[in-house]
Amino acid sequence: MTTFAPEQSVRHLDHGEGRIVVDQGVFSLVQFGTDIHRVETAQLMRIESLEDRLADLTTDDSTATLAKAQALLIRSINDQWGVFTRTRVKLLPHQLWVCRQVTRNWPARWLVADDVGLGKTIEAGLILDPLLSSDRVKRVLVLTPARLAPQWLDRMKTMFDIRLNLYSADLDRGKISYWETADKVVASFHTLRMDKARERLLMAEPWDLVLVDEAHHFQAVERSATLTYNLLKDMQAAGKIGSLVLFTGTPHRGKDFGFLALMHLLRPDLFDPQREIEEQLAHLPEAMIRNNKATVTDLQGKPLFKPVNTQTVDYGYTEAEADFYNVMSEFILDGRAYASDLAGRERTSRMLLLIALQKLAASSIAAIRSALSKRRGMLATTIAQGGRRAAQIAEPPEDEEDDERSQREESALGENSPTLMSDEIARLDEILARADEITHETKIQRLIDLIETELKVGEPVLLFTEYKATQALVLNALEARFGEGSSGFINGDERLTILNTDGTTEARSLSRDTAAEDFNAGRTRFLISTEAGGEGIDLQHRCATLVHVDLPWNPMRLHQRVGRLNRYGQTRAVSVYLLRNPETVEARIWSLLEEKLARIQATLSASMEEAEDIAQLVIGMAGSTVFDELYSEGFSKQGRETLKSWWSANSNRFGGDNALATARSLFGSASKYDSVSMAKEIPQLDLPQLEPFFRNAAKTHGRRVTTSEAGLSIATPEIWRNDLDLKSRYDGLTFDRDLALQEQMNRMMGIGHSLVDKLLEHAVNQPVFAAYLKDLENPILLARVEDELTGTKTTVHRIVLGLQYGQSNILRDGELLTLLNRCTWEEAPSTVLSKEHAATLRELSIRLEATELPRSLGFTYPKARPIMALVPAP
């Protein structure tokens, strides 16, 4: 009967490859991955290893051995960093670092809270692609807001050639559940949180990896939680989530409980919303990642982002506009006085309506005129029908989208709602009469003047407004001045009613994607967007100019708007213009708000080691309700000095000492990319470093790679002639990422391309372990590093590194691949390994055993085992 020595490599029919722990005779203890099994010794088959070559002093085919060594190193590098992923974007250090940080220990549980515009979709693709390529992940679920699901589907396909299926409730109605046939899915969490959809999801097989975009929607308060939060909580409780990665730029939304509840979903072993946050902050580096625009660089250490240039563009009202503003202000103040005498829902409903009126009036006269006209009609109809009881307006839901909020505010005034005062219809008639006297709005005239006199001729411009009525007004004005077809629009329902010059109206429909494509391609010069364009759309490749037509009360919206242009891929400094009338109360409150945010930023920057736009976190922690209250209450303080005094007494509702301390702790504690310490860790490699392996591997199959102006050509190896995943021949191949979008997935080579994947898989499984190579100065011993800790139920994490004779330091996988890419195979290889080289390799093996491996490798108990030897050709 065959006996085995400890550490002997063996293969088992059911468990695959493993290593002998101890041969007990009839049975043997064998380590397979992170588990140890007791199996029948007779069922084990011995596998050849490097030790065999050192013992019998033989070598293998040099081409196959070089290809195998390169393949092992390529996989080791890509599994950690994703640098050889087939994507058309140029990869950045912080993105590669996020990929390594998330995937180095498995299963993974991370909150990625990178600043807006740092490429979270790219980070998600970099995380996912090597996991799919290495089969560490087979089932993946991506949860996103409804409007972003199609975009995730498209970007994963075009950027990474990852084919996801888009979930639809219509596809999940039959007897056979949708989830029985789909294993790579992107789905709206707004849809899946509904009872029937959630039920069927919870009956599905567990997911190896769940990615969540806009994770700040998953909120909980002390006595309740959103449906979205409960969806993830239920999946967790049912054991349906293996690894979980959450993405959000605003992780803390004002309440410690909500933030800790989110972190509890990730790491229930570390975070508990029932405990004080201070005692849990020390655990953040184990679960939260945060990179910011101020510190990220390219591979050469050059800052990626230029400072944003923000300018205010002032204008003043005409006499008719000032008269309208005053009458409108009196109406709002009288409405507040009327509401203040009421209580409960009666008061709340009216205050919500008055806030909507105030916002619409600040946006444009067209917006408030449209809303008041609809309201006047609703009230008249109510009276004609005998004064039916008005419905009370409910508090908006916690997870309401920005565009949903704006649409609700715009439409609520025209719906059945309570009266704001006893003589409301007469007051509305007066206001509408004043509005009719205004034929042109000064704000819009100032906008046209800005474009014509202060911007470059033909400069593309992105414009933002909160409301569709203002959006239509701006579009009309731009097309009247710059020509029909010069402007596109983006809003929540992808429709807009335009007023023609002859007084007729025209309903236009335009999808978000089409509007963005037209703008990016230069078919339109202007793009006017509501908050629906504030997230999930990339416009930075052509445009660097943004105009805020109105100022949202929540400053976070400004940050999100600017993030559409000031993001990865922007090559110019972004210019931002804010249209405002400094005489209005809203503009004065905005100035006071800006001053406070600047003080907060200065205070925190002085006490933090790294630059960070931390004021944005403070804003996010405050929540939108605080700013609504400040603007609404401040509106009654019309005098400048009165307003300043009131502001001094009330602005501590956000940015207080507790909020600043939390912000400093959150960003100070989170794990982040450090360009100084990580400079040597990140491999300076890209797709071209795959080409030497590609040529060597092709030769082992009797194929020659030819080069022409069109690219590389190769006939598919004979053993794969009948493989349906491969073509019989490939032409025009390249290892260059700089390809046109329509060409990239047909021509670009990299991990994920079927032919490259086949060559890698074949190469690493060849029984070759030692060879002579030309252009190699000294012998090299390659070793595979694994964690000795067993029984963890994690996926095996392997890294390849090496030692070279004459050098004292460990060589990382990236260094080794660079070195081997300069080597060539021996034309007439020797089949005998010299005793001197064998002795040298054994010496390297002893040194390896005694070497303390870097902690940065990410292992608890690392163990390096020699697997290959490469020696200089005589």
pLDDT tens, 420-439? 777 888 998 999 999 999 98
Residue type, 134: S
Q: How large is the average pLDDT for residues 777-803?
A: 79
User: Quick check: is 294 in a domain?
Assistant: no
> Do 39 and 66 belong to one domain?
no
In sequence order, which ranges of 683-806 are alpha helices (DSSP H)?
691-700, 741-747, 754-764
- The tens digit of pLDDT for each residue in 832-873 reads 888 999 999 999 999 988 888 877 777 777 888 899 999 998
Q: C-alpha angle 444/445/446, rounded to 5°?
A: 90
| The dihedral formed by the CA atoms of 164, 169, 175 and 178, expressed in degrees to the nearest 10 | 10
pLDDT the model gives residue 725? 86
Give whichever of 54-58, 119-123, 491-495, 542-546 has the largest mean pLDDT: 542-546
- pLDDT at residue 395 tops 80: no
Which of 404, 436, 468 is the last residue before a domain boundary?
436
pLDDT the model gives residue 408? 63
pLDDT the model gives residue 629? 73
Burial track 688-720 (b if 16+ CB lie within 10 A, e otherwise): ebbbbbbbbbbbbbebebeeeeebbebbbbeeb
> Do 468 and 566 belong to one domain?
yes
632 vs 525: which has the higher pLDDT? 525
Cα dihedral sign for 647, 636, 577, 450?
Answer: negative
The total domain count for the chain is: 7
Angstrom distance (rounded) from CA 95 to CA 297: 10
- pLDDT at residue 609 tops 80: no
pLDDT the model gives residue 664? 67
User: Quick check: is 269 in a domain?
Assistant: yes
- The tens digit of pLDDT for each residue in 559-592 reads 888 888 988 888 899 999 999 998 888 888 888 8
Give residue 718's pLDDT band: very low, low, confident or very high (50, 70, 90): very high
Give residue 245's pLDDT band: very low, low, confident or very high (50, 70, 90): very high
> Do 329 and 350 belong to one domain?
yes
Q: Which DSSP state fits 178?
A: G
> Do 444 and 555 belong to one domain?
yes
The alpha carbon of residue 71 and the mean position of all alpha carbons in its chain are separated, in whole angstroms, by: 30
pLDDT the model gives residue 744? 59
pLDDT the model gives residue 445? 96
- pLDDT at residue 674 tops 90: no
Angstrom distance (rounded) from CA 371 to CA 361: 10
> Do 453 and 400 belong to one domain?
no
User: Quick check: is 651 in a domain?
Assistant: yes
> Do 62 and 207 belong to one domain?
no
User: Quick check: is 823 in a domain?
Assistant: yes
- pLDDT at residue 185 tops 90: yes
> Do 848 and 729 belong to one domain?
no
Exposure of 689 in the CB half-sphere (CA atoms within 13 A): 23
Least confident segment among 203-217, 319-333, 565-579, 659-673: 659-673
pLDDT the model gives residue 388? 52
pLDDT the model gives residue 772? 93
Q: Which residues contact 416 (CB under 8 A, 6 or more apart)?
A: 378, 382, 388, 390, 391
463 vs 622: which has the higher pLDDT? 463
Secondary structure of residue 228 in the 3-state scheme: helix
Give residue 795's pLDDT band: very low, low, confident or very high (50, 70, 90): low
Pairing of strands 545-548, 575-580: parallel
Q: Which residues contact 745 (CB under 8 A, 6 or more apart)?
A: 86, 158, 161
> Do 762 and 746 belong to one domain?
no
> Do 527 and 502 belong to one domain?
yes
Give residue 620's pLDDT band: very low, low, confident or very high (50, 70, 90): low
pLDDT the model gives residue 651? 65
Using a 10 angstrom Cβ sphere, with 0-12 exposed, 13-18 middle and 19 or more buried, the burial of residue 13 is exposed
Query: Quick one: which of 327, 219, 330 has its CA closest to 273?
Result: 219
In the chain, what is the straight-line distance between the N-terminal and C-terminal CA atoms, in Å? Answer: 41
Q: C-alpha angle 715/717/722, rounded to 5°?
A: 100
**367 in Cβ contact with 470 (< 8 Å):** yes
pLDDT the model gives residue 509? 92
46 vs 731: which has the higher pLDDT? 731
pLDDT the model gives residue 119? 85
Average pLDDT score over the chain: 84
530 vs 176: which has the higher pLDDT? 530
For residue 13, give the CATH number of its domain. Answer: 2.30.30
Residue 159 belongs to what domain range?
87-289
pLDDT the model gives residue 698? 96
> Do 120 and 242 belong to one domain?
yes
SS3 for 541-563, per residue?
CCCCEEEECCCCCCHHHHHHHHC
Query: Quick one: which of 551, 614, 596 has its CA closest to 577?
Result: 551
What is this structure's pTM?
0.80
Give residue 16's pLDDT band: very low, low, confident or very high (50, 70, 90): confident
User: Quick check: is 329 in a domain?
Assistant: yes
Angstrom distance (rounded) from CA 356 to CA 348: 12
Q: Is 66 left (phi over 0), alpha (psi -120 to 50) or beta?
A: alpha
Give residue 614's pLDDT band: very low, low, confident or very high (50, 70, 90): low
Q: Which residues contact 679 (CB under 8 A, 6 or more apart)?
A: 301
DSSP 338-378: HHHTS-HHHHHHHHHHHHHHHHHHHH-HHHHHHHHHHHHHH
Tokens 């040529």 correspond to what residue? 695
Pairing of strands 729-733, 711-715: antiparallel
User: Quick check: is 834 in a domain?
Assistant: yes
Using a 10 angstrom Cβ sphere, with 0-12 exposed, 13-18 middle and 19 or more buried, the burial of residue 11 is middle
Q: How large is the average pLDDT for residues 152-167?
A: 89
For residue 268, give the CATH number of its domain. Answer: 3.40.50.10810
Residue 307 parent element (H or E): none
Rg (CA), the chain: 32
Q: How large is the average pLDDT for residues 307-327?
A: 92
> Do 95 and 127 belong to one domain?
yes
pLDDT the model gives residue 343? 76
Angstrom distance (rounded) from CA 54 to CA 137: 37
pLDDT the model gives residue 85? 87
Both tokens of 480, joined, read 């009247």
> Do 576 and 444 belong to one domain?
yes
- The tens digit of pLDDT for each residue in 478-537 reads 999 999 999 999 998 889 988 776 667 888 999 988 999 999 999 999 999 998 765 667
Angstrom distance (rounded) from CA 183 to CA 176: 15
- pLDDT at residue 476 tops 70: yes
pLDDT the model gives residue 383? 76
pLDDT the model gives residue 318? 93
pLDDT the model gives residue 301? 79
Q: C-alpha angle 597/603/607, rounded to 5°?
A: 140
Q: How large is the average pLDDT for residues 648-652?
A: 69
Residue type, 351: M
The alpha carbon of residue 609 and the mean position of all alpha carbons in its chain are separated, in whole angstroms, by: 25
| The dihedral formed by the CA atoms of 409, 411, 412 and 417, expressed in degrees to the nearest 10 | 160
Q: Which residues contact 660 (CB under 8 A, 6 or more apart)?
A: 600, 603, 604, 618
Asked if the bond preceding 206 is cis, omega within 30° of 0, the reply is no
pLDDT the model gives residue 36? 86
Which of 563, 581, 599 is the last residue before a domain boundary?
581
**433 in Cβ contact with 365 (< 8 Å):** no
**What's the Cα-to-Cα distance from 614 to each of 93, 265, 712, rounded to whole Å?**
22, 25, 49
Which of 684, 713, 735 is the last residue before a domain boundary?
684
pLDDT the model gives residue 397? 55
The proportion of the chain whose per-residue pLDDT surpasses 90, expressed as a percent, equals: 37
Sheet containing strand 862-872, edge to edge, reads: 799-804, 780-787, 862-872, 770-774, 824-825
For residue 464, give the CATH number of its domain. Answer: 3.40.50.300
The alpha carbon of residue 38 and the mean position of all alpha carbons in its chain are separated, in whole angstroms, by: 44
Sheet containing strand 165-166, edge to edge, reads: 165-166, 184-188, 140-144, 207-212, 241-247, 109-112, 288-289
- pLDDT at residue 390 tops 60: no
Query: Quick one: which of 643, 649, 645 has its CA closest to 583?
Result: 643
pLDDT the model gives residue 716? 94
**350 in Cβ contact with 339 (< 8 Å):** yes
Bridge partners (DSSP) listed for residue 246: 111, 212
User: Quick check: is 373 in a domain?
Assistant: yes
Angstrom distance (rounded) from CA 525 to CA 544: 12
Give whichever of 202-216, 535-549, 588-602, 818-832 has the largest mean pLDDT: 202-216
Query: Quick one: which of 864, 764, 775, 858 has its CA closest to 823?
Result: 775
Both tokens of 246, joined, read 């959450």
Least confident segment among 194-198, 497-501, 648-652: 648-652
pLDDT the model gives residue 381? 82
Bridge partners (DSSP) listed for residue 38: 29
